Structure 1
Amino acid sequence: MTPKLVIFDCDGVLVDTERLTNRTLAALLTDCGFQITGEDCQKRFMGRTLEAVQEIVERELGRKLPSDWLEKLRARDIESFKAGVTQIPGVADVMDLLDERGIPYCVGSSGKYEKMHSTLGSAGLLPRLKDRLYSSQDCERGKPAPDVFLLAAKSMGHRPEDCVVIEDSLPGVKAARAAGMRVFAYVDDPVCDRDALKTAGAILIERMDQLPGLLFGEA
């Protein structure tokens, strides 16, 4: 079935930021007394909102994180993005093909709008996406709840069952399936748990150039 709307996650699907942001997160959490590496941050927290990460860390620490930790993290992230953020290889070609075929697309992310504007802007993708960004900050619940994908579908004027999601995280795949949407998981990153993503209901892709054939039944 050809989708009527394609919803892209942002980090790790449109822009190559997962390793960078998780190194920054790990450094700040370690400063706060929660010892963790960037790779372990990515494995544990990829796809979740920072508020959800805070709940997990505070529960395990048995105490609150500093009141300004989120502010510090977001400031460090924005500063790190100034050095340049690259597009995921092939994703612009996918969007070009969707444009040619008249299939709309948008973004459904756990990230805040400020972060999306920064990363997508640095990668040169913001002009084609800036009016089609949807964030969990506008939702009651973050991924793995389906809220942001349902918001995106409703805002773009499509039924959930007519949408396809492109994700890279387990919470994101679970959110898409909970929304009643087909989901493809981009698994180029070696940290991805392929078995868990497949078990959760995703079709795995290792390269973005595989996606058009799967979307349009031409593989």
Structure 2
Amino acid sequence: MENPFSQARLVIFDCDGVLVDSETIVCRVLAEEMTRLGMPATAEELDEQFSGRPSKDCILDIEARYGGPLPEAYFHNTESRIRRAFHEELEPVTGIYEVLEKLQTTDLQSCVASSGPHAKMQITLNKTGLWDFFEGRIFSADDVGRGKPWPDLFLHSARQFDIAPQRCLVVEDSIAGVKAAVAAGMPVIGYSHNLERGRQLEAEGARVINDMQLLLDYL
């Protein structure tokens, strides 16, 4: 049987946690702001609950826990604090530059497909120097009706290149993202330093790596 990874013509990267090391920052700020509103939370808990999911779905979950619409101050505080933290702390995922530079020497095409909004990706990818690798080939859950774990975003991305799902290779770090890739019929690499998260990604159907440069073995 032919190796499904060797058939790839398009590599689809998630953004947060795969290209940019943003999830720790976002979950830390959200946990602190939720705790201020009387909803004690930890960054680890929120990472487990929200990783890979569209922002609007995460907000609905927080509002359900809060018992109604969140105050405007919550959104103002979280957005301003996250922007400031991105400016001060955000870094690319270790090894991703080498992967993207190698990708440019191959016949493979690439794009980004993220649950995050376009405005956020413009900030994070520019801050980390990755925007030029993907400009014009960046897709958001806002572009489709349903975000991850539904397959819509990945299928939408593949259609933009007229490439069949089985000829795509998805790189993800979240359970929702791996589920979406599997549902789309796409081979998926799961990236995680965390042993337990890696096991979860593998259980959902991913081939797991704990070093981004190991992705080069599949390209």
1:96 aligned to 2:105? no
- What RMSD, in angstroms, separates the aligned Cα atoms of the two structures? 1.7
Counterparts of residues 1-219 of structure 1 (less than 5 Å): 1-67=6-72, 69-70=74-75, 72-188=77-193, 190=194, 193-213=197-217, 215-216=218-219
CA-to-partner distance for each residue in 1:42-61, whole Å, 9 max, x for gaps?
11111111211122222233
SS of the residue 1:142 aligns to: coil
- How many residue pairs match? The answer is 214
TM superposition score normalised by structure 1: 0.91
Provide the rounded CA distance (Å) in 1 between the counterparts of 2:163 and 2:185: 12
| CA shift for structure 1 position 150 | 1.1
Q: Which amino acid counterpart does residue 157 of structure 1 have in structure 2?
A: D
Provide the rounded CA distance (Å) in 1 between the counterparts of 2:114 and 2:77: 21
Identity of aligned residues (%): 36
Unaligned runs of 5+ in 1: none
Q: Which amino acid counterpart does residue 129 of structure 1 have in structure 2?
A: F
Compare 174-183 and 26-35 and name the one that shifted more: 26-35
| CA shift for structure 1 position 79 | 2.1
CA-to-partner distance for each residue in 1:106-128, whole Å, 9 max, x for gaps?
10001111111111111111112
SS of the residue 2:30 aligns to: helix
Provide the rounded CA distance (Å) in 1 between the counterparts of 2:204 and 2:8: 20
SS of the residue 1:35 aligns to: coil
Provide the rounded CA distance (Å) in 1 between the counterparts of 2:76 and 2:55: 11
CA-to-partner distance for each residue in 1:108-153, whole Å, 9 max, x for gaps?
0011111111111111111121211100011111111111111111
| CA shift for structure 1 position 192 | 5.7
Unaligned runs of 5+ in 2: 1-5
